[in-house]
A = this chain, B = another copy of it.
């Protein structure tokens, strides 16, 4: 399931719902991205961030997230997957994104969850505008994100073990 929303989400309730009633699930891996109060964008970084605004491309965002989710489910034997991504104004400490994968086996859950966030980071059309004391600053894409996503591209069989 994918959701793109302005509102916050209830992490515990979302994770519970993913495995509820499915006793074939042996492991649930999740990752939550949070707004840091320190700039992590390209360049020097380290500047204090007040709030940020997440812009996205309605329509294409949902398509890309659905595609990423479908690819994860093709690569690993998963019982459930979830991607929630917020947009709009967010404060330090706020939840930005949740990705989760449930599987009979933990390796599949871990790898699928890691894949979901790595691909989302490089493919889903979101852009962060940081409100720094010096004014709004668009966050630069990080080369480490591209490298992280590239790990998964060689072949679907590689990481599925």
Contact surface of A with B, Cβ cutoff 8 Å: 10-13, 15-16, 19, 21-38, 40, 92-93, 104-107, 109-110, 113-114, 117, 144, 148
Contacts and interface: CB of A to CB of B under 8 A. Distances in A.
Contact of A33 (B13, B24, B93, B106): B106
A93 B35 CA distance: 32
A104 B92 CA distance: 12
A33 B37 contact: no
Given A25-B34, A31-B109, 15 more contacts: A10-B12, A11-B12, A26-B34, A27-B32, A28-B32, A29-B29, A29-B30, A30-B30, A33-B106, A36-B104, A40-B104, A107-B144, A110-B110, A110-B113, A110-B114
Contacts of A36: 23-26, 104
Q: Which of A109, A110, A148 has the most CB of B within 10 A?
A: A110
Contacts of A117: 106
Given A30-B30, A104-B36, A16 B24 contact: no
Nearest to A148: B107
Given A11-B12, A19-B93, A114-B110, A34 B30 contact: no
20 contacts: A10-B12, A11-B12, A12-B13, A15-B32, A23-B35, A23-B92, A24-B36, A24-B37, A25-B36, A26-B33, A26-B34, A28-B31, A29-B29, A29-B31, A30-B31, A36-B104, A40-B104, A107-B144, A110-B110, A110-B114
